[in-house]
Amino acid sequence: MSALDQLFLIAAVTAVVPMVIGNTRFGGWVMTLLYAGQAAVVFEMRAVSYGGETISATPNFVVLGQQIHWAYDALSWFFALTTVGSALFASWYASGEWGRRYREDGYNLRLFHTAMAANVFSMLVLLGSNDLLSVFMGWELVSWASFLLMAARGGAAIRPALRYVVYAMGGAMALMMGLAILYVETGSLQLGAIMAAAPGFSNGLVWLLAMSFGVGFGVKMGLVPFHLWQAPAYAETAAPGSCFFGAITARMGLFGIILILVKLVGVAHMAETGIPWVQFSARDLLAWVAALTIIIPTYTALRQHDARLLLMWHGVGQGGYMLLGLMVGSALGSAGGLLHIFNYATNQLILLMAVFAVIHRTGTADLNKLGGLLVRMPISFVVLLVGIIGLAGLPPMNGFVSKWMVYRALIADGSPLLFLAAIIGTLGTILSVYKLIHNIFLGQLRAEHEQIREVPWSMSIPMMLAAAVVFFTGYFPGVALDWVAAVQASVGLPVIAHTLGGVPLPNGGLNMIAVVSVLLFGFAVGAVIFFLLGGRSVRVHQLDNYAGGHFLTAATRYQYSNIFYPGLFRLLAPVYRNTFVWLEAGLVSVVDLASMGARGLCRSRHPAFYILLGFVLTLAWVIK
């Protein structure tokens, strides 16, 4: 029994166990132990990421005379690590008080645990795909498991979940088309055989593949213009499920793109498909889609006043950095894109856990109804702070390293406009995450939140541990860069030369150990200057404040929160035109009209006659 067999087995067991004990008091803890077991097996398989052999699973069957089986290489391992890690933290978070409250509120905890484990299992299966058929099977499993988890909470979660299903089906059609094209062209289902044939693909074929797989997998990633479904669907999911979705699920789309477009077709091959005269290649198309995916969702996030939606919109936008880095295709750029998958997952995980901690205590995610919680929930504040620094991509957190690599690669590649697009996204992120932390934790504490306490240890320990990962993989990015380099080698990209501290380049590199150390040194000096010199400071009450001659009382709302950046929005108002929402609504109307037509036909006096007539005419046309 190989390690991969063990992983699949334990993941399957994890999905079955909660059907029995999911509703019990210790159910959540058992689940967490099972995820820890999965993590242990993934750790046992680590050799695959340090030059070891690919690990195969035993189950297999034969279709069209070709063997279908599953195996893990460095790429699968990297994604599996992130997936199982996210699930472990999310499940731990759900184990104690959160799960108890969820059950008391009348939700089905058994369904939640089962759905979550089904997601992990299906994703692990997808990651082991070795041929076109298992890619499609894994893909559909992931899609339906996602729907199950989204809809598990019922109520407001149902509509966005159904919207997701429509998008996912559209994506699956495009994916099916791409897979069919590949099979017809090469006569093989095996990825290895297709890869061998790929250098002979014509330009037209590469364009066709880039389009069909770009749409198929792009829907899951929320690439523009398929970005509308993701944020509401993920935000309405039950808290730990939402954390898990936000961290990793959407990246399955990126996994698909890496597997098919990067590994099989190759970035260099896509870059050679320039249309004559304009020199615009399939790679350029995907890079620009990625750039738009950075900008549009980020500036949509800036307008949100629900903390969950704000973060989820950023999640869509951050996917753009990953794809953009990969499409640069150089060792530095693709390493930045890949590293950002891991870094972003850790960031988003702690951000969402902190936000859901606030919701757990206050019952609201409305950024206009919170404020000043820092003094009541200091641990959640620190975790959120680490998360926003990481998400905004500032030193010393890990998000900075991956974004720096993408920026640096875009400069070296000579793509100033894509570089600027990435920068514009980052600036928007900084504005937006400051609003997030300000409106929740800073400013005035509301009278109704005076008695609030920090969340219990069952929730705050996983938050703090994950935040520590964000810091340490920023301090020592070489740990994760080892895995990334192995992924690059396994998918045929140039491999990044790196050290424990970062990327040494002759013309401007990065050593995070030095940068973070000097930052800590600066903080230490600053602390000495501030705390040891000068008089002692006196702590005052929040209402002991300048108010232009008025007295402040607890009844005075003294918090600035609504429309946080009015000047910017006055300037940008003409740009926000809801074009994509309008397009989606238009599409829905067209489908509605068609269905009305079909209904009208069925209600006519002789529906059978018309259907028969249509059938005969079609048959005549086909035969002719």
Partner 1 sequence: MDWKVLLVDLVLMPLVAFAVGLVMVLMLRKVNARIQRRIGPPFFQPLYDILKLFGKQTQISHGVIHDIAIVMLLGGFIASETLLPVPGMDGLAKQGDLLVLIYLLMVPTLGMALGVGQCANPNGSIGISRALTSMLAYDIPLMVVVVGVAWHYGTTSLPEIIALQQQAGVSGWGVTSMPLLAVAGIVSIHMMLGKEPFEVYVAPAEIATGPMVEISGKYLGGLFVTQCFQLYTAGVLFTTLFLGGGENWLSFLVKIFAVLFVPIAITVVFPRFKVEEGVAWGWKWPTTIGLVGLALVFF
| CB of 9 or CB of 563, closer to partner 1 | 563
Q: Kindly state the tokens that stand for 549.
A: 């001659």
CB of 118 or CB of 389, closer to partner 1 = 389
Spatial contact of 143 and 172, defined as CB atoms under 8 Å apart:
yes
Alpha helices for 22-131 (secondary structure H): 27-44, 74-95, 97-104, 109-127
Long-range pairs for 65-68 at CB < 8 Å and ≥24 separation? 66/131, 66/188, 66/189, 66/190, 68/130, 68/131, 68/133, 68/134, 68/189
For partner 1, which is the closer residue by CB, 303 or 438? 438
The total of other beta-carbon atoms located within 10 Å of residue 35's CB is 25
DSSP 123-154: HHHHHTB-BHHHHHHHHHHHHHHHHHHHHTT-
Nearer Cβ to partner 1, position 24 or 542?
542
Looking at beta carbons only, is 77 or 441 nearer to partner 1? Answer: 441
> Under 8 Å CB-to-CB from 619, ≥6 apart: which residues?
none
Instruction: Give the DSSP per-residue string, 470-499.
Output: HHHHHH-THHHHHHHHHHHHHTTPPPPP-B
Closest approach, Cβ 545 to partner 1, in A, equals 5
Q: Nearer to partner 1 by C-beta: 251 or 435?
A: 435
Whole-number minimum distance, CB 344 to partner 1, in Å? 17
Distance of closest approach, residue 467 Cβ to partner 1, in angstroms:
16
- How many C-beta neighbours within 10 Å does residue 107 have? 17
Please state, in angstroms and rounded to a whole number, the distance separating the CA atoms of residues 613 and 600: 16
Q: Which CB sits closer to partner 1, 185 or 366?
A: 366
- From residue 20, how far is each of 30, 106, 170, 238 by CA, in Å? 11, 18, 35, 20
Provide the minimum distance between the beta carbon of 581 and partner 1 in the complex, in angstroms, as a whole number. 24
Burial 323-334 (b: 16+ CB within 10 A, else e): bbbbbbbbbbbb
Q: Give the nearest distance from C-beta 331 to partner 1 in angstroms.
A: 16
**At closest approach, how far in Å is the CB of 88 from partner 1?**
30
Give the shortest CB-28-to-partner 1 separation in angstroms: 33
Nearer to partner 1, 226 or 321 (CB): 321
Q: Are strands 502-503 and 510-511 parallel, antiparallel or unpaired?
A: antiparallel
Cβ distance to partner 1 smaller for residue 254 or 401: 401
CB-CB contact of 458 with 95 (8 Å)? yes
Helical packing angle, 398-413 and 307-328, nearest 10°: 40
Q: Whole-angstrom Cα distance, residue 477 to residue 49? A: 16
Nearer to partner 1, 223 or 406 (CB): 406
Q: Are 334 and 493 in contact (CB under 8 A)?
A: yes
Residue 548: which region, alpha, beta or left (left: phi > 0; alpha: psi -120 to 50)?
A: left
Query: C-beta of 286: minimal distance to partner 1 in Å?
Result: 21
As given in the structure block, the two tokens for residue 16 are 């079955």
Min. distance of Cβ 410 from partner 1 in angstroms?
8
By beta-carbon proximity to partner 1, the closer residue of 60 and 545 is: 545
Name the residue among 147, 209, 141, 149 with its Cα closest to residue 174: 209
Q: What is the DSSP string of 275-306?
A: PTTT---HHHHHHHHHHHHHHHHHHHHTT--B
Helix (H, G, I), strand (E, B) or coil at 55: strand
Q: Which is nearer to partner 1, 540 or 623 (CB)?
A: 540
Nearer of residues 197 and 513 to partner 1, judged by Cβ = 513
- Whole-number minimum distance, CB 518 to partner 1, in Å? 5
DSSP 229: T
CB of 339 to partner 1, least distance (A): 16
Q: Provide the minimum distance between the beta carbon of 293 and partner 1 in the complex, in angstroms, as a whole number.
A: 19
Q: How far apart are CA 345 and CA 248, in angstroms?
A: 6
Find all residues with CB under 8 Å of 168, minimum gap 6, and list them: 143, 146, 147, 219, 220
Residue 362 CB, nearest approach to partner 1 (Å)? 17
